[in-house]
Structure 1
């Protein structure tokens, strides 16, 4: 028997930590002893039932996990290997990693870089891995240090925090947009050179605005993304990876056809293995241990995840929430 955060709907929704057995696990060719997981925005939506994230019931929550292989029928993995899992519908259609044990598909797993322990990996989690995917996409587009200001929206969130740290470490001038004025010191410690109020971007704006940003990392969507595109400089790029404000995009084609702005869609869930490996290798190179600790300073036991999910959805959390499966 082992502990798992189980979501059920029969017919009313419930979320609780309880003991389950091996028969409760789904099909898969690799079993992992999960040492640490984390709480992402998508996990928060599922655990609080604020959005129809879960599509198979009952479900074990948790789209991220890091731990050690205990059983394997997959040729790439053997007992004792350290692995990290992000996405692939885990926690949505396949029982996830907010549990002491998970059964997964070997092709979903990435070898955990030697630079990280499982706690550090989950302080990064899908949010940090997504931020790295955004940075890689902007670099493929041609972004280089010295090109101009790079805007990061939702800057105190998981994606935003890691994006600020990564871009600053790589030599970019970072402007952080946040609705939490009290978090200025935190963002400056991560490397933000300037902080603006998210209200500057969150209301309807003109189709074309003053050119400000060489590039943008946006995890917010809606009017924020539309305004970011409208303010991006000629030939710049916007990496879009989230919808914290909304899934709509109330924009025009003007920035794209008059300024050559590129809108780069970032998908972390089904990204191919080679790109995942590249992202984790770069995270191991470009994130300092002290930065990871600052971003993932909050740790909760498995028993505290439901309360933490409510606080996350109410906007009361900065950075990342690491979950220890021991409690």
Structure 2
């Protein structure tokens, strides 16, 4: 195709410091791949903020264009899977980490990294959900896969992206959701999500060293790890399922085997990066249909590529609230 010029956010290392700026790129600058997509929307995630600040645990080589989410229109697909004009979502794999991501007008990726935008979901809405919403959906899918009769569900890190979506979708499905958050004063926010019961991080973390705790939860969606996760596991009822997708509190898990061998609790790890394309398509269809949230626009604020620098700094400082959708 024509070697079009377009705008992109680029992060580069200058004298040991990482600088972010809007630059002009060309199609020929893009990495290898069969699929070229004109990006309409992306979204800002914490992983993007880390990549944009030079975190080599996320991105090894610079200069780099972050953005682990993108939604847009197919321009060209050498694999033949997609036709020009098809609407697609690109998340997961190495997108936005060590492969140029969604903070640019055009992307080129392997065709298997994309899924079709399902009916009843706009490109913008797909990016309000983004990786955070998809991870929440994957957690719920695994949580309910064996037993849909669960009632009392605990969601940790509930004010974050994954936690907020998990709370809202579970409440929509009729479950009694208890939210663990450091923002216990944000009752209005959680009531809007359908959550009535809120507990603090302090109450959610047991320091007694007991092998088992009082049975409280039919299931748990954990996004933070550490002592809050171990406490939740020890408080899960017989046969309950606990999913784990994050380590904001700690990557360590101080735990004994009793919840697993005496209560039959299952701990399931959640990874949205290498999730199969077939399961991705299935879950995006659920997000667009029976799991779709009526108040989805309330989750986000639309920003421009030029606004990203400021919002990245706010996110790294812990001052960002809600989802930021980037209109390209």
Same fold (TM over 0.5): yes
**Residues matched between the structures, number:** 322
- 1:55 equivalent to 2:60? Answer yes
Mapped contact 1:235–1:259 kept (Cα < 8 A): yes
TM-score normalised according to structure 2 size: 0.93
> What CA distance in whole angstroms lies between the structure 2 residues aligned with 1:150 and 1:7?
40
TM-score normalised according to structure 1 size: 0.94
Aligned-residue offset at 1:148: 2.9
- 1:88 equivalent to 2:101? Answer no
> What CA distance in whole angstroms lies between the structure 1 residues aligned with 2:41 and 2:281?
20
Mapped contact 1:149–1:175 kept (Cα < 8 A): yes
Label 1:22 to 1:316 Cα distance change in 2 as closer, same or farther (>3 A): same
> What CA distance in whole angstroms lies between the structure 2 residues aligned with 1:211 and 1:51?
41
* Counterpart selection for 1:16 from 14, 21, 26: 21
Mapped contact 1:96–1:102 kept (Cα < 8 A): yes
> What CA distance in whole angstroms lies between the structure 2 residues aligned with 1:204 and 1:269?
33
> What CA distance in whole angstroms lies between the structure 2 residues aligned with 1:317 and 1:279?
27
* Counterpart selection for 1:74 from 74, 79, 87: 79
Q: Compare 299-308 and 132-141 and name the one that shifted more.
A: 299-308
* Counterpart selection for 1:188 from 169, 187, 191: 191
> What CA distance in whole angstroms lies between the structure 2 residues aligned with 1:193 and 1:243?
25
* Counterpart selection for 1:225 from 226, 229, 245: 229
Structure 1 unmatched ranges of 5 or more: none
- Partner of 1:19, secondary structure, is strand
Mapped contact 2:158–2:164 kept (Cα < 8 A): yes
- 1:307 equivalent to 2:275? Answer no
Who is 1:126 aligned against?
A: 131
- Partner of 2:295, secondary structure, is helix
Describe how 1:107-126 pairs up with structure 2 within 5 A: 107-126=112-131
State the superposition RMSD in angstroms: 1.6
- Partner of 1:115, secondary structure, is coil
> What CA distance in whole angstroms lies between the structure 1 residues aligned with 2:162 and 2:13?
30
- Partner of 2:309, secondary structure, is helix
Mapped contact 1:161–1:319 kept (Cα < 8 A): no
- Partner of 1:27, secondary structure, is coil
Mapped contact 1:64–1:126 kept (Cα < 8 A): yes
Aligned-residue offset at 1:291: 2.1
- 1:263 equivalent to 2:256? Answer no
> What CA distance in whole angstroms lies between the structure 1 residues aligned with 2:119 and 2:106?
22
Q: Compare 96-105 and 55-64 and name the one that shifted more.
A: 55-64
- Partner of 1:2, secondary structure, is strand
Who is 1:105 aligned against?
A: 110
- 1:318 equivalent to 2:318? Answer no
* Counterpart selection for 2:181 from 157, 163, 178: 178
> What CA distance in whole angstroms lies between the structure 2 residues aligned with 1:58 and 1:210?
51
Label 1:314 to 1:74 Cα distance change in 2 as closer, same or farther (>3 A): same
Aligned-residue offset at 1:234: 1.2
- 1:235 equivalent to 2:239? Answer yes
> What CA distance in whole angstroms lies between the structure 2 residues aligned with 1:76 and 1:11?
44
Mapped contact 1:177–1:196 kept (Cα < 8 A): yes
Label 1:258 to 1:152 Cα distance change in 2 as closer, same or farther (>3 A): same
- 1:169 equivalent to 2:147? Answer no
> What CA distance in whole angstroms lies between the structure 2 residues aligned with 1:311 and 1:231?
35
Who is 2:151 aligned against?
A: 148
* Counterpart selection for 2:142 from 137, 142, 147: 137
Describe how 1:287-306 pairs up with structure 2 within 5 A: 287-288=291-292, 290-296=294-300, 298-306=301-309
> What CA distance in whole angstroms lies between the structure 1 residues aligned with 2:101 and 2:271?
19
- Partner of 2:259, secondary structure, is helix
Mapped contact 1:165–1:287 kept (Cα < 8 A): no
Residues 53-103 of structure 1 deviation map (CA, whole Å, 9 limit, x = unaligned): 102332210010000011111221111000001111111121111111110
Aligned-residue offset at 1:209: 1.3
Aligned-residue offset at 1:143: 3.4
